[in-house]
Chains A and B, each alone.
Chain A
Amino acid sequence: GNSVTQMEGPVTLSEEAFLTINCTYTATGYPSLFWYVQYPGEGLQLLLKATKADDKGSNKGFEATYRKETTSFHLEKGSVQVSDSAVYFCALGDSSYKLIFGSGTRLLVRP
């Protein structure tokens, strides 16, 4: 069945460091891919998405490219801020409208 695998956290970085959070997926067909962010005590917010191969999603300085050949959707940001500290979830949307989530990666950015 469809599944999503994320790198385990926590990921601890200094402010202005480069961020990569790895995400790979297994799916039949042509799923859509998403990154969601969860700030402490809050619900999930859509960060970015890509609906087909080679699409690049971007938002708030974050980017991810839908790579069908490597079944990956890695999240990147060139310079993280303390306010980026949160839990990041990679997710796959299949044809049934269901979202399948990875286990989440906690990011901690230190000043």
Chain B
Amino acid sequence: EAQVTQNPRYLITVTGKKLTVTCSQNMNHEYMSWYRQDPGLGLRQIYYSMNVEVTDKGDVPEGYKVSRKEKRNFPLILESPSPNQTSLYFCASRETGANYGYTFGSGTRLTVV
């Protein structure tokens, strides 16, 4: 089954404790992206990657890092999480070309206390 898999689904952590949210896709998509969802704000892009070793900032990159060492994986790293990073996070991948076939993961609900 074609899918984007995120882990964990839920995470509660303390301020300053480094964490990684994993994302993996099995569709051989070149483009991957991370979004955060907050009430009243919709989804905002954090980082994206056009291909292996190619990453760039989205609209809200502060406090986040990413890496793209392999085509299928695109982990999101919070080196020193803070309470304002409490949010629902989504990883997505898409096909190239005009069809814009975005596929989203099921989400990771992160709480930073």
Contact = CB atoms under 8 A, between A and B. Distances in A.
B72 interface: no
Interface residues of A, number: 20
B105 A43 contact: yes
Contacts of A11: none
A82 to B, nearest CB: 23
B87 to A, nearest CB: 14
A93 B97 CA distance: 12
A88 B25 CA distance: 24
B45 to A, nearest CB: 6
Contacts of B33: 98-99
B42 A89 contact: yes
A76 B110 CA distance: 33
Nearest to B40: A103
Nearest to A1: B59
A44 B89 CA distance: 11
> Which label, helix, strand, loop or mixed, suits the secondary structure of the A interface?
strand
B100 A93 contact: yes
A54 to B, nearest CB: 16
Contact of B104 (A32, A44, A93): A44
A69 interface: no
A4 B35 CA distance: 16
Given A46-B102, A51-B98, A97 B42 contact: no
Contact of A104 (B42, B45, B58, B90): B42
A74 to B, nearest CB: 17
A34 B104 contact: no
Contact of B100 (A43, A44, A49): A49
A98 to B, nearest CB: 6
Given A51-B100, A93-B100, A99-B102, 16 more contacts: A32-B98, A34-B102, A43-B90, A43-B106, A44-B43, A44-B104, A46-B101, A49-B100, A51-B99, A89-B42, A97-B94, A98-B33, A98-B48, A99-B45, A99-B100, A101-B43
